[in-house]
Amino acid sequence: MKKVYLDSAATTQVRPEVISRMQDALASSYGNPSSSHGFGRTAKTAIEQARKTVAKYLNAHPAEIIFTSGGTEADNMILRCSVRDLGVKTIITSKIEHHAVLHTAQALAYEYGVELLFVDLDSVGNPDLVHLESLLKRDESKKLVSLMHVNNEIGNTIDITAIGNLCEAYGALFHSDTVQSIGHFPWDVQKCKAHFLTAAAHKFHGPKGVGFAYIKRNTGLKPLILGGSQERGFRAGTEPFHNIVGLEEAMNAAYDHMEEERTYVTELKRYFIEKIAMAIPEIAFNGLSGDMEKSTYTLVNVRLPFDPEKALMLLFHLDLKGIACSKGSACQSGSDIGSHVLTEILPSEDMEKPSLRFSFSKYNTKEELDYVIEVLKEFGSH
């Protein structure tokens, strides 16, 4: 059976060179990085080199990079520590953030009495910056703004520099979940004015179970996980050395080949949009995912003109045909709850139609996209 993987926004295929680097690390560099002997020092040196590598691509200082188990831990750590350590009394976010941010913010509102405010969204899911400014200046409370750079379901990209400038003007902290964009876009933390960013290696062809937080120096955050002195005392626990060097290898490859791979994947997305619109004329694109200029080049979210009852079998049918995609974020695909992102931006009649997220990578081909479109067209015609 033909196999087509179009779910790279959920997780990506690991690059062969990343696997090779990790295998070598597991086989030969097995010392505890905290040990003072040669085996430990070898591992520790490699971890610090990986930290420098990450910092280089962000134009950050190595001390500002903290390795974590992934984006969810990094988001939790930043939001929780900001409230606990920095006196944040108000969190401003949007209703279409990843649940790692939304659920944490809601928990902090319950546990600490933090005021939780939601910035208005337009009809396609972009934050209203005029409303954001009004929320920033409504009172003198210490505020944290948390808005993701690339939405993981509809692909909208926000003007992170403009938001950073607004936060700076009103003395607010700025956190951005950049899990869907680090490894796919160039970054300069000096320009975007963010205090905190988060990333996960498995979104850019690295291993699962490792990511990092960018935490601007002198912000005053204290450790969330206590124990040893790992990660400069900020995150205790023996470092997953093989995962960290895997992340470094994936990041090197992502930025070394970014221009050519971005050109290739952008063309795949453009091709998919044109062909599926011709094959299924009544199709619609959710958010800005159909706009090549205002959304990420890595995904598209389509709303299909299929009967709601029949549509219940759509994902199952695609799976039988060897096609992997998503009806929303992978974090909630095992749930019957609909997409919280689409619920916010679509009228109820459109929510009854099936929506699918197709996300692309360097490993996909136009022939695969032709196959997927043909399967969808055939499903809709029966």
Instruction: For residues 89 and 142, give the distance between their C-alpha atoms in angstroms, rounded to a whole number.
Output: 5
Residue pair 70/209 in contact (Cβ under 8 Å)? The answer is yes
Helices (H), the chain: 16-28, 38-58, 71-86, 99-112, 129-136, 160-169, 189-192, 241-256, 258-279, 308-311, 314-320, 340-345, 348-351, 366-381
Question: Is position 325 annotated as part of the catalytic site?
Answer: no
Q: Is 346 exposed, middle or buried (0-12, 13-18, 19+ CB in 10 A)?
A: buried
Instruction: For residues 290 and 269, give the distance between their C-alpha atoms in angstroms, rounded to a whole number.
Output: 9
SS3 of residue 203 by DSSP? helix
Neighbours of 262 (CB within 10 A): 17
Residue pair 79/104 in contact (Cβ under 8 Å)? The answer is yes
Token pair in block for residue 198:
């988060």
Q: Which of 81, 192, 325, 331 is catalytic?
A: 331
Residue pair 302/363 in contact (Cβ under 8 Å)? The answer is no
Q: Which of 178, 210, 180, 183 is nearest to 194 (CA)?
A: 178
Kind of pairing between the strands at 143-146 and 90-93:
parallel
Q: Is 9 exposed, middle or buried (0-12, 13-18, 19+ CB in 10 A)?
A: buried
Q: Edge-to-edge strand order for the sheet containing 355-359?
A: 284-285, 299-303, 355-359
Residues that are catalytic: 331
